[in-house]
Structure 1
């Protein structure tokens, strides 16, 4: 019986190590691009998806206002990979009072 418990404990320890590594890798997938931590884009997704997007929250607008929007222009073709509807980005900028976005954001 002691041998069986050791096997279970070993499996549990291995599972704990794998889960810890997975969490660490997930956090490491964050990229810092044009003054934006890509994980922070999640704060804006509800305001730039669906047929009736929610108004952007204060956190979302803070992310956008800290961004170097001109720097983001080359990444525009990839915006849908982050779950954003490209047609909702310009209205999102307007709602966050970004009055002079770069011309690349006129979809």
Structure 2
């Protein structure tokens, strides 16, 4: 059953990406710009492009991925991802 859930999540995410080209109001270009900042072991400081993309994000939506097994499977550290709004000095960082 767990394998089925993982497949279902990936399929839903791919459908969302294909249809909307955004996740939580962040464009695919924005997500790509942020990836070096959330990828261990040597994350880089977030770029201006990444911070700009996050400034339009639905933070509560992003919080819903906090405990997702999907992010680590994509090479993304959820803890690093949750630090990005503060690193970008965005007002009202998420309280996940």
Q: TM-score band, normalised by the shorter chain? A: 0.5 to 0.7
Aligned length: 78
Unaligned runs of 5+ in 2: 1-16
Q: State TM-score, norm by structure 1.
A: 0.58
**Which of structures 1 and 2 has the bigger CA Rg?**
1
Q: State TM-score, norm by structure 2.
A: 0.63
Aligned partners of 2:30 and 2:54 also within 8 Å: no
Which structure: greater helix fraction? 1
CA RMSD of aligned residues (A): 2.4
Aligned partners of 1:30 and 1:39 also within 8 Å: no
Unaligned runs of 5+ in 1: 1-26
Q: Does 1 or 2 have the higher relative contact order (CA < 8 Å, sep 6+)?
A: 2
The aligned residue for residue 82 of structure 2 is 90
